[in-house]
Amino acid sequence: MKKMRGAVRLLVALMVAAFLGTGGWIGYTVYTQGGRWAANNMNNRLNSRRKSVGMGEISDRNGVVLAYTDGEGRRWYAKDKNVRRALSQTVGDQMSMSGTGVETFHAGTLLGLSGSIIDRTRQYLSGDRYQGDNIRLTVDAELCAYISQNFPSGKEGAVCLLNYKTGEILAMVSKPDYDPERLAGRQATADTTGSGYLNRCLQGQYTPGSAFKIVTLASALSYMQGGPDPGVESLTFLCEGPRSFGNSFVRCYDGEIHGQMSLNQAFAVSCNVTFASIAQALGAERLVSTAERLGFNDNFAFRDLILYESTIPTRIPESIELAWTGVGQGRLQVTPLHMAMIAGAVANNGVMQTPRLIQRVTGAKGTPRLRAAPAPYGQVLEVQVAHRLRDYMAYAVKAGTGSRAALKGYRVCGKTGTAEVSDDKSVATNAWFVGFLDDPAHPYAIAVVVEQGGTGGKAAAPLAAKAFKKAIGLLGA
């Protein structure tokens, strides 16, 4: 009898644990994925509510109106066409052509589904058309328009600029763009091709090229220091041209030969041969471990936005593929916003902040609904490693390939990337710059990618310098 009672108690305990576990999982999933479910075009509740509710206002961090509903229920966007286009994928549109836009992803909030019963009753009794909640974003409209207008003419790509202390996204520009006011019915006009609706900051999965050497260097500084052998920083490296790894070769960009150099110099000149050798010395397990700690292979579940996954193979053959992975080629895929987050983590003593797009939410009558606060993603680098990386990235701008990102009076830290996108080199390389301002008063991190732009030093770094300078002037501390 006692054994039976014990078995019953155990069964009940297991059932309770399963119930609580399921409830907790459902609660967590709703908290992190609710926006994705609500934003689905097949959500009939939202589609029907759009007909009877005035969607709330969307504004930038300074109160500049980016989207609003007039008294007749028509939706309008920013008056300035340059602002409208620069923030087209960020704000979105009524047709949900840009699926990651605020108009779609936060439709539930804009339609007042988060409003209180008291507010709903008050609006019903007043006879007024029900108004949804207003959203103020973290982006600066003028900064976004400036970056968009200074993006290399005729090129596609993305620029993400964020505050690495708070995680606030200050600028998010994707090219090509479109004009949300030129969409009518359920058909797009000839204003853009389908790729114009894609937010490349969030959805563009690119080969990072040499910008990934930040990750390879972080892994080397983490695992190849101290012990009976000399630390990696005390070693010298020799680049005499193409070096064989397995059955193939790794060569430096444009056939350069760098000779004898320190690790600091190798990072500054972006020596492929050196970083391929470092990847081989580290081994795949350590390199992948560092990348995953920095967010690779994570299914980012952020409340404010949809960020596509950055990936690195979990199994990399210890041969030419590992060598090229350490250089930033191979089967790597990364989003621009994630690269800006990585740069921000280096600047922020190894702490990566969760990216934030929403500053606050208020009801139609100004009732506070939500005021966002910084939320760390995690301590992704040891403090000492972050400090060393900061110095390496500063030297890469001062005396290396990132020199065109330099800004007088400020310490700019960064890394360029020139990513091959075709095996036969028939397509021009994508140009990258990833970096930050090492300045507590201006804690800005950036990622720039110019598709088929050539080298990162020539195409991406100058735009980063312009964006930093404009951000300092507009935002201050």
209-357+372-475 classified as CATH 3.40.710.10: yes
DSSP 242-309: -EEETTEEE--GGG---EEEEHHHHHHHT-HHHHHHHHHHH-HHHHHHHHHHTTTT-----SS---PP
Q: How far apart are CA 455 and CA 429, in angstroms?
A: 7
Per-residue pLDDT of the chain (477 residues), as tens digits, is 556 666 666 666 666 666 665 544 444 444 445 555 455 555 555 555 555 688 999 999 999 999 999 988 889 999 999 999 999 999 999 888 998 999 999 999 999 876 555 565 555 555 556 789 999 999 999 999 999 999 999 999 999 999 999 999 999 999 999 999 887 544 555 466 678 999 999 999 999 999 999 999 999 999 986 544 557 888 899 999 999 998 899 999 999 999 999 999 999 999 999 999 999 999 999 999 999 999 999 999 999 999 999 999 999 998 999 999 999 999 999 999 999 999 999 999 999 999 999 999 999 888 888 888 999 999 999 999 999 999 999 999 999 999 999 999 999 999 999 999 887 778 899 999 999 999 999 999 999 999 999 999 999 999 999 999 999 999 865
Q: Which residues of 89-101 are buried (b: 16+ CB within 10 A; e: fewer)?
A: bbbbbbbbbbbbb
The half-sphere exposure of 289 on its side-chain side, counting CA atoms within 13 A, is 9
φ, ψ for residue 325, nearest 5 deg: -65, -40
The predicted model scores a pTM of 0.88
Amino acid in position 375: A
φ, ψ for residue 302, nearest 5 deg: -95, 145
Three-state secondary structure readout of 94-115: CCCCCCCCHHHHCHHHHCCCCC
Tokens, residue 276: 């391929």
Report pLDDT digits (tens) over 108-117: 999 987 655 5
- Is the CB of residue 433 less than 8 Å from the CB of residue 210? no
- Is the CB of residue 446 less than 8 Å from the CB of residue 468? yes
Asked if the bond preceding 176 is cis, omega within 30° of 0, the reply is: yes
Q: How far apart are CA 290 and CA 223, in angstroms?
A: 10
User: For residue 365, what pLDDT is reported?
Assistant: 81
Strands 58-59 and 134-137: parallel
- List the beta strands (DSSP E) in 153-258: 157-163, 169-175, 236-239, 243-245, 248-250
313 burial type by CB count under 10 A (0-12 exposed, 13-18 middle, 19+ buried):
middle
The residue with tokens 């039976």 is 4
Map out the domains of the chain as residue ranges. 209-357+372-475
Q: How far apart are CA 170 and CA 140, in angstroms?
A: 6
Q: Which residues of 133-147 are buried (b: 16+ CB within 10 A; e: fewer)?
A: bbbbbbbbbbbbbbb
Q: Which residues of 224-242 are buried (b: 16+ CB within 10 A; e: fewer)?
A: bbeeeeeebeebebebeee
The half-sphere exposure of 67 on its side-chain side, counting CA atoms within 13 A, is 32
